[in-house]
Amino acid sequence: MNIFVCVKQVPDTETKVTPNGDGTFIETNSIKWIMNPYDEFAVEQALLLKAAVAGSTVTVVRVGSVQDTEALRTALAMGADEAVLVESEDNLDSYMIAKSLKGGIEKSGKTPDIIFTGKQAIDDDCLQVPQLLAQMLEMPSVSVVVGFEHADGKVTLKREIEGGATEVYEVSAPVLVACNKGLNTPRYASLPGIMKAKRKPLQQLSLGDVGVSADDRRIKYSNFQLPPEKPPGKKFDAMDEGNQASVVAEVVGLLRNEAKVI
C-alpha cells in the first residue's frame, strides 16, 4: 500500500509573531519551526496503517522553505520511509500548496492509495488544502476525522460534526483523510529513529519541477498586521455604600450607549 502524508511546518505555538518589513509575511528569522500539530495525527495514523498492512510504505511530502526541515525530519524519525520536499517560499496560498503537493506526490513515482493530512494548519488556519488536493487528484476526501478503520480494502471513517455528533463514512481507496485531535496519540520520534532518519531518502524538487508557477497564485498577502491592542478595561469602585447607586447607573449607561449590549 502506498501511504502518503502531507505535512506543513509551522511556527512553534509559543512564537511571538511579528509582520516582516513590507508586510508580505511574518518575520521568519528567529522562528522555531515545528510540525503542524494536526499533521502529527496524520503521520501516526499512516504509521499504524503501515504496521497493519504488510509491504506498505509511508512517503511524507512537504511544500516550503529549505533552511529548516524540522517537519520532514520529525516524520522520518517517527518512522516514515521517505520524504519529498517541494522547495518554495513559506507564504504560498492554499491553491499553490495543493497543486505543489499534487506534483510532489506524482513525482515520487508512487500512486497513492491513501493520503493523510492534518485537518488544518495552525498558522494560517485556511482549512482548504486537503479538499483542494483531493479534488485535484480526483479522489474523495473526509475531513475532521477522529476514527479510522481499514479492512478488506474498505476504509471506515468517523468525522466530528458540530454539536458533538459523529458522522460515519465508508470509503474505498484511494481516499484523502484529514485528521483531527482524538484520532490517536502521536508517538515520539525515538533517538534511534532520529539516527536512522539521516539515512532515509529525501527527494528535493523545485516549484518548476512540479509544474507550479507564479500564475497559479490566487491570493497575495500584502499587509500583515498585528491585531490592535486591547484598550484597558474600565474600573468602578462600588465598595463604598454611598456611591453604589451612581456606579450602577454609570455602568448601565455605558453598557447601553457605549458597548451597546443592553
Partner 1 sequence: MNFELSSEQKEIKDLAFKFAKNEMLPHAAHYDEKGELPFDILKKAWELGLVNTCIPVEFGGTGFSTLDSILITESLSYGCLGMNTAIMANDLALLPIVIGGNDEQKKRFLTPFTESYKMAAFCLTEPGNGSDAAGIKTTIKDEGDHYLVNGQKMWITNAGFADLFTVYGTYDSGLKHKGISAIVIEKDTPGIEIGKPEKKMGHSCSDTRSVTFKNVKVPKENLLGKLGDGWKIAMKTLDHSRPMVAASAVGGAQCSFDYAAKYSTERNQFGKPLSGHQGIQFMLAEMAMNIEAARLLVYKSAWLLDQGQKNTQLASSAKAFSADIFMKVATDAVQIYGGYGYSREYPVEKLMRDAKLIQIYEGTSQIQRLVIAKEVISTL
3-state secondary structure of 173: coil
21 exposure class (CB count in 10 Å sphere: 0-12, 13-18, 19+): exposed
Residue window 45-84: x/- pattern of binding to partner 1, with contact defined by CB under 8 A: ----------------------------xx--x-------
- Identity of the residue, 153 or 192, whose beta carbon is nearer to partner 1 in the bound complex: 192
Q: Please report how close the Cβ of residue 180 comes to partner 1 at its closest, in angstroms.
A: 20
**Cβ atoms of 84 and 60 closer than 8 Å:** yes
- Identity of the residue, 7 or 114, whose beta carbon is nearer to partner 1 in the bound complex: 7
Residue window 174-203: x/- pattern of binding to partner 1, with contact defined by CB under 8 A: --------------xxxxx-xx--x-----
What is the footprint of partner 1 within residues 138-177 (CB under 8 A)? none
Please state the length of the chain: 262
Closest CA to 99 of 209, 216, 3, 214: 216
- Identity of the residue, 165 or 191, whose beta carbon is nearer to partner 1 in the bound complex: 191
Is the bond preceding 174 in cis, omega lying within 30 degrees of 0?
A: yes
Whole-number Å distance between alpha carbons of 160 and 177 = 13
Q: Please report how close the Cβ of residue 74 comes to partner 1 at its closest, in angstroms.
A: 8
- Identity of the residue, 204 or 244, whose beta carbon is nearer to partner 1 in the bound complex: 204
- Identity of the residue, 189 or 212, whose beta carbon is nearer to partner 1 in the bound complex: 189
Whole-number Å distance between alpha carbons of 188 and 186 = 7
Q: Is 232 in the site for partner 1 (CB under 8 A)?
A: no
Whole-number Å distance between alpha carbons of 73 and 78 = 8
**Binding residues vs partner 1 (CB under 8 A):** 73-74, 77, 188-192, 194-195, 198
